[in-house]
Structure 1
Amino acid sequence: MNTTPSQLTIGVVAPLTGRLAPLGKPLTYVLKTLAPQLEHVRNGSRRHDVTVAVRDSRSDPAAARQAVRDLVATDEAHVVLTMAGTQVLPAVADACEELGVPCLSTTFPWQAYVHSRGATPGHSFQWTYHFAWGLDDIATVFARMWEQTGVRHATVGCLWNDELQGGLLRHEEYGFAPVTSARGHTLVDLGSYREPATDLQEQVGRMREHGADIVTSAATAADLALFHRQARQAGLRPRLITCSRWLTYPHTHTTSVPGVHAELADARVATLVYWSPGHPYRSSLDGTTCADLAHAYQQDTGESWLQPLGLAHALVETAHRALSTADDPTDRAAVARAIAGSTFSTIAGTLDWKQGPTPNIALLRLSGGQWHQGPKGPRLAIVTNADTPEVPVTGELLPT
Structure 2
Amino acid sequence: MNVSQSGITRRDLLRATGIGISLTATAPLLTACGGLGSEESSGNTSKPVLKIGFVSPRTGAAAGFGEPDAYVLDLAKKALAGGLSIGGTQYEVQILDRDSQSNPQRSAQVANDLINGDAVDLMLTTSTPETVNPVSDACEAAGVPCVSTVVPWQAWYFGRGAKPEEKNAYKFTYHFCFGVEQFHNMYTHEWPQVPTNKKVGVMWPNDSDGNAIRAALGPLLTKSGYTIVDPGAYTSGTNDYSAQIALFKRENCEIFNTFPIPPDFATFWRQAAQQGYQPKICQVAKTGLFPSQIEALGPIGLNIAGGAYWAPWWPYKSSLTGVDSKALGDGYQAAGKQWNQQLGPSLALFDVAAAAFQAVADPKDKAGVAKAIGSLSIDTPVGKLEFGKGPNANVVTAPILGGQWIKSTDSRYQVEFVQVENSSDPNVPVAAKLLPYR
TM-score when scaled to structure 1? 0.91
User: In structure 2, what is the Cα distance between the partners aligned to 1:360 and 1:170?
Assistant: 22
1:110 CA displacement = 0.4
When Rg is computed on C-alpha atoms for both structures, the one with the higher figure is 2
Equivalent of residue 133 in structure 1, options 166, 174, 178: 178
Q: 2:66 is matched with which residue: 24, 31, 53? A: 24
**Cα RMSD (Å):** 2.1
| Residue in 1 that maps onto 2:118 | 75
Three-state SS of the structure 2 residue aligned to 1:170 is helix
In 1, distance between residues paired with 2:119 and 2:276?
Answer: 59
Contact kept, 8 Å, 1:190 with 1:204, in 2: the verdict is no
* AA partner of residue 38 (structure 1): L
AA partner of residue 75 (structure 2): T
1:169 aligns with 2:203: no
**2:407 counterpart residue number:** 373
When the two structures are aligned, how many residues end up with a matched partner? Answer: 387
Tell me the residue number matched to 1:199.
240
Residue 64 and residue 368 in structure 1: after superposition, are their counterparts in 2 closer, same or farther (change >3 A)?
A: same
Write out per-residue CA displacement over residues 49-80 of structure 1, whole angstroms, 9 at most, x where no aligned residue.
11112233233222222222222223221101
Q: How many angstroms does 1:254 deviate by?
A: 7.6
Q: How does 1:295-334 map to 2 (within 5 A)?
A: 295-300=330-335, 302-334=336-368
**Are the equivalent residues in 2 in contact too, given 1:225–1:263 (CA < 8 A)?**
no
Match of 1:95 among 118, 138, 153: 138
Does the 8 Å CA contact 2:75/2:321 hold for their aligned counterparts? no
Question: How has the CA–CA distance of structure 1 residues 182 and 322 changed in structure 2, closer, same or farther, with 3 Å as cutoff?
Answer: same
**What letter matches 1:34 in structure 2?**
A
1:148 aligns with 2:186: no
* Partner of residue 387 from structure 1, selected from 415, 424, 428: 424
TM-score (norm. length: structure 2)? 0.83
Q: Which moved more, 1:237-246 or 1:21-30?
A: 21-30
* C-alpha contact (below 8 Å) 1:83/1:107 kept by paired residues: yes
Residue of structure 2 in register with 1:336 after alignment: 370
Cross-structure match for 2:324 = 289
Deviation at 1:127? 0.4
1:193 CA drift (Å): 2.6
- Identity of matched residues, %: 33
Q: Secondary structure at the match of 2:405?
A: strand
Relative distance call for 1:90 and 1:285 in structure 2 (3 A) is same
Q: 1:197 to 1:338 in 2, by over 3 A?
A: same
For the 8 Å contact 1:162–1:194, the answer to whether it is kept is yes
* Structure 1 moving runs of 4+ over 6 Å: none
Q: Which amino acid aligns with 1:227?
A: F
Q: Which runs of 5+ in 2 are unaligned?
A: 1-45
CA displacement at 1:156 relative to structure 2: 0.9
Q: Deviations over 1:89-128 (max 9, x none)?
A: 1110000011110001100000000122122233420100
Matched, 1:237 2:305: no
Aligned to 2:203: 159
Shift of 1:222: 4.0
Distance across 1 between alignment mates of 2:207 and 2:47? 48
Alpha-carbon deviations, 1:196-244, whole Å to 9, x = none? 2322121111112222111111134443344344434444320001111
Q: Quick check: 1:357 aligned with 2:391?
A: yes
Q: Which moved more, 1:284-293 or 1:184-193?
A: 184-193
Structure 1 window deviating more from structure 2 (38-47 vs 353-362): it is 38-47
- Which is further off, 187-196 or 30-39? 187-196
Deviation at 1:324, TM superposition (A): 1.2
State the 1:84 CA deviation.
Answer: 1.7
The equivalent residue for 2:11 is: none
